[in-house]
């Protein structure tokens, strides 16, 4: 399909009917997903698909529409739906089509080698991953997830103000979850890797980490409900930070949905905390332009505990009378434009995880939390999450703990951070890539027995 022909026709017809400015965003994904279970290929999925989204300013309002059927017949549907959608908008917020930034830095997130690796090699990797995990210890009962996924994304952003940008990137990931069993005691643990360099996919390392962790959780017991000092391990804190990232969203601030309103240049976190949003981070996944075509850029969100900026797209920036921070987010051609971080992370401190544990006389190390989609409130900052942990006594791991929840308020946690590790690690990417080192918090409520 010749995208350019459709775009030309859309812009032509749109102009005739009365659109002022118009924009087309096209995304095309090719993906491969594999799962192995008991030496067999349990899932083999391939795809090549995409869609086109159209938006335009009609009588001063922005109307959106999209289609996955990209053909000449869809042009009228796209235009009519966008007009209908623009008509119902009564928000006075001005929305624009952007003419382009002065400069776009190059970010290369496309690794050609990844596409050249045979599917057989990827299947072998998974079979080895499963086999190795099962052989590591007689208590490994099953490998209940053993998957590999790979995605190649092409996006094109073209508008009537002269913007014409395209991007191609690819990413691969592998995820393993193991079930270990001793008598009637069953425990699971998972590990993942995200990279577009297949040589980094080390099945021995991945399966060993998952198995060792699952085994370490056997005979876990609950603990007496109380407040304890806690260390939250890097990727777990990254997941919590990611879940709370809407607090930095300029649109939420403006709409009274973030408690960070009016907090710019105020201290909102312990001074050891610096959070950056860095599209150029070496192993990141960001692109050189955002969902509106604005060049992405490096910024500090929190610097030594002081809030420096919110994340903005064009619309929220204009309302706040600042420049867009290049954080417009268009997750797919189906969505309207929102806001998300690029590669956002808490900067490393100088202690290793072991050194941090040594600062703890009695406390917990949280290694995993569940319920992030339901057990926290980004508006109030409150959270209450099921957790897996180790009991730490005199700086050493004493025993595993399960059947507990950790509860607190994220805004209070930011102020009560005592130590920051040097082990930055990232959560699985989706609506931004978020990372954190291990973090020690003065105390959190633990509910157990």
Partner 1 sequence: MLKQSIIEDVLYSALSTGGDFAEVFVEDKFNTALNMVGGKIENGISGRDYGVGIRIFYGTNSIYAYTNDSSKENLIKVAKKAAMVVGAIKKDITINLMKDSINNIHFIQQYPLDIQKSKKVELMKKAYYSAKNYDNIISQVRVRYMDEDQRVLIANSEGLFVQDRRVRTRTAINAVASRKGEMQSGHCAPGAHMGFEFYEKINIEDYAKEAARIAKTMVNASYCPSGKMPVVIDNGFGGVIFHEACGHGLEATSVAKGTSVFAGKIGQKIASDVVTAIDDGTILNAWGSQNIDDEGTKMRKNVLIENGILKGYMIDQLNGIKMGMKSTGSGRRQSYKYAPTSRMTNTYIQNGKSTFKEIIQGTEYGLYAKKMGGGSVNPATGDFNFAVMEGYMIRNGKICEPVRGATLIGSGSETLNKIDMVGNNLAYGQGMCGSSSGSIPVNVGQPVIRVEAMTVGGRKEE
Residues 216 to 245 in contact with partner 1, rule: CB under 8 A: 222, 225-226
User: Binding to partner 1 by residue 287, rule CB under 8 A?
Assistant: no
From the list 405, 417, 426, 435, which residue makes contact with partner 1 (rule: CB under 8 A)?
405
**Count of alpha carbons within 13 Å of 407, Cβ hemisphere only?**
11
User: Binding to partner 1 by residue 416, rule CB under 8 A?
Assistant: no
| Residue that the structure tokens 């610097």 belong to | 303
User: Binding to partner 1 by residue 42, rule CB under 8 A?
Assistant: yes
Which positions from 93 through 112 interact with partner 1, judged by CB under 8 A?
93
Which positions from 169 through 188 interact with partner 1, judged by CB under 8 A?
177, 179, 186-188
The Cβ of residue 406 has, within 10 Å, a number of other Cβ atoms equal to 24
Which residues on adjacent β-strands are paired with residue 175? 147, 192
* DSSP notation for 99-158: ---S---------HHHHHS-HHHHHHHHHHHHHHHHHH-TTEEEEEEEEEEEEEEEEEEE
Q: Give the single-character DSSP code of 385.
A: E
Phi, psi of 208 (to 5 degrees): -60, -45
Q: Which of 148-156, 197-205, 298-306, 398-406 is the region at the interface with partner 1 (rule: CB under 8 A)? A: 398-406
From the list 370, 393, 396, 397, which residue makes contact with partner 1 (rule: CB under 8 A)?
370
The Cβ of residue 200 has, within 10 Å, a number of other Cβ atoms equal to 13
From the list 402, 416, 422, 425, which residue makes contact with partner 1 (rule: CB under 8 A)?
402
Tokens of 146: 């053993």
User: Binding to partner 1 by residue 149, rule CB under 8 A?
Assistant: no
Euclidean distance between CA atoms 396 and 16, whole angstroms: 72
From the list 149, 331, 395, 403, which residue makes contact with partner 1 (rule: CB under 8 A)?
403
Q: Which of 76-84, 130-138, 391-399, 415-423 is the region at the interface with partner 1 (rule: CB under 8 A)? A: 76-84
Q: How far is the CB of 398 from partner 1 (least distance, A)?
A: 21
User: Binding to partner 1 by residue 121, rule CB under 8 A?
Assistant: no
Q: How far is the CB of 71 from partner 1 (least distance, A)?
A: 9
SS3 5: helix
Euclidean distance between CA atoms 138 and 441, whole angstroms: 37
What's the CA angle centered on 40, arms 36 and 46, to 5 degrees?
60
Euclidean distance between CA atoms 420 and 425, whole angstroms: 13
Q: Which is closer to partner 1, CB of 251 or CB of 278?
A: 251
Which residues on adjacent β-strands are paired with residue 292? none
- What percent of the residues of the chain are helix, what percent strand, and what percent coil, each to the nearest 5? 25, 40, 35
Which residues on adjacent β-strands are paired with residue 242? none
Which positions from 255 through 284 interact with partner 1, judged by CB under 8 A?
255-257, 259
Euclidean distance between CA atoms 153 and 170, whole angstroms: 6
Euclidean distance between CA atoms 240 and 114, whole angstroms: 31
From the list 4, 266, 334, 396, which residue makes contact with partner 1 (rule: CB under 8 A)?
334
The dihedral region occupied by 264, where left means phi > 0, alpha psi between -120 and 50, and beta the remainder, is beta
From the list 2, 88, 103, 265, which residue makes contact with partner 1 (rule: CB under 8 A)?
88
Which positions from 18 through 37 interact with partner 1, judged by CB under 8 A?
37
Euclidean distance between CA atoms 438 and 407, whole angstroms: 18
User: Binding to partner 1 by residue 385, rule CB under 8 A?
Assistant: yes
From the list 2, 16, 90, 103, which residue makes contact with partner 1 (rule: CB under 8 A)?
90
Closest CA to 72 of 28, 22, 12, 21: 12
Q: Which is closer to partner 1, CB of 93 or CB of 164?
A: 93
From the list 13, 81, 298, 429, which residue makes contact with partner 1 (rule: CB under 8 A)?
81
From the list 7, 14, 57, 67, which residue makes contact with partner 1 (rule: CB under 8 A)?
67
Q: Which is closer to partner 1, CB of 92 or CB of 112?
A: 92
Burial of 369 (0-12, 13-18, 19+ CB in 10 A): buried
User: Binding to partner 1 by residue 447, rule CB under 8 A?
Assistant: yes
Q: Which is closer to partner 1, CB of 45 or CB of 138?
A: 45
User: Binding to partner 1 by residue 332, rule CB under 8 A?
Assistant: no
Euclidean distance between CA atoms 66 and 32, whole angstroms: 24
The footprint of partner 1 on this chain (CB under 8 A) covers a number of residues equal to: 78
Euclidean distance between CA atoms 250 and 325, whole angstroms: 10
Q: Which is closer to partner 1, CB of 186 or CB of 322?
A: 186
Q: How far is the CB of 76 from partner 1 (least distance, A)?
A: 12
User: Binding to partner 1 by residue 380, rule CB under 8 A?
Assistant: yes
Phi, psi of 268 (to 5 degrees): -120, -5
Q: How far is the CB of 388 from partner 1 (least distance, A)?
A: 9
From the list 149, 395, 429, 448, which residue makes contact with partner 1 (rule: CB under 8 A)?
448
User: Binding to partner 1 by residue 72, rule CB under 8 A?
Assistant: no
Q: Which is closer to partner 1, CB of 148 or CB of 383?
A: 383
Q: How far is the CB of 261 from partner 1 (least distance, A)?
A: 10
User: Binding to partner 1 by residue 41, rule CB under 8 A?
Assistant: yes
């Amino acid at each position: 399909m010749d995208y350019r022909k459709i775009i030309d026709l859309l812009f032509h017809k749109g102009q005739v009917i009365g659109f002022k400015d118009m924009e087309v965003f096209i995304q095309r994904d090719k993906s491969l997903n594999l799962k192995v279970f008991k030496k067999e290929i349990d899932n083999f999925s391939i795809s090549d698909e995409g869609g086109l989204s159209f938006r335009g300013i009609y009588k001063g309002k922005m109307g959106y529409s999209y289609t996955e059927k990209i053909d000449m017949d869809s042009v009228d549907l796209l235009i009519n739906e966008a007009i209908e959608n623009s008509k119902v908008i009564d928000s006075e917020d001005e929305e624009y089509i952007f003419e382009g930034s002065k400069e776009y830095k190059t970010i290369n997130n496309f690794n050609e080698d990844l596409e050249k690796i045979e599917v057989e090699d990827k299947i072998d990797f998974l079979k080895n991953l499963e086999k190795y995990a099962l052989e590591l210890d007689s208590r490994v009962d099953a490998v209940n997830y053993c998957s590999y996924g790979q995605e190649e994304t092409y996006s094109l952003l073209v508008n009537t103000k002269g913007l014409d940008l395209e991007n191609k990137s690819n990413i691969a990931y592998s995820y393993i979850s193991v079930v270990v069993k001793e008598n009637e005691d069953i425990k699971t643990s998972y590990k993942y890797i995200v990279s577009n360099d297949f040589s980094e996919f080390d099945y021995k390392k991945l399966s060993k980490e998952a198995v060792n962790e699952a085994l370490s959780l056997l005979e876990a017991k609950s603990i007496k409900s109380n407040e304890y000092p806690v260390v939250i391990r890097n990727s777990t804190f990254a997941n919590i930070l990611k879940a709370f990232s809407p607090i930095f969203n300029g649109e939420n601030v403006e709409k009274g949905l973030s408690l960070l309103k009016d907090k710019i240049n105020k201290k909102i976190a312990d001074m050891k905390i610096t959070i950056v949003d860095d599209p150029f981070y070496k192993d990141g996944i960001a692109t050189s332009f955002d969902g509106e075509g604005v060049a992405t850029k490096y910024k500090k969100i929190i610097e030594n505990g002081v809030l420096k900026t919110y994340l903005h797209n064009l619309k929220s920036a204009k309302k706040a009378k600042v420049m867009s921070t290049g954080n417009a987010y268009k997750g797919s051609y189906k969505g309207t434009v929102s806001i998300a971080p690029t590669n956002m992370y808490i900067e490393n401190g100088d202690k290793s995880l072991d050194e941090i544990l040594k600062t703890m006389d009695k406390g917990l190390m949280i290694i995993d939390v569940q319920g992030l989609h339901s057990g926290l409130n980004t508006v109030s900052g409150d959270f209450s999450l099921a957790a897996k942990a180790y009991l730490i006594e005199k700086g050493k791991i004493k025993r595993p703990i399960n059947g507990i929840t950790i509860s607190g308020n994220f805004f209070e946690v930011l102020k009560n951070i005592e130590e920051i590790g040097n082990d930055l690690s990232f959560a699985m990417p989706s609506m931004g890539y978020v990372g954190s080192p291990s973090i020690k918090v003065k105390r959190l409520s633990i509910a157990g027995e």
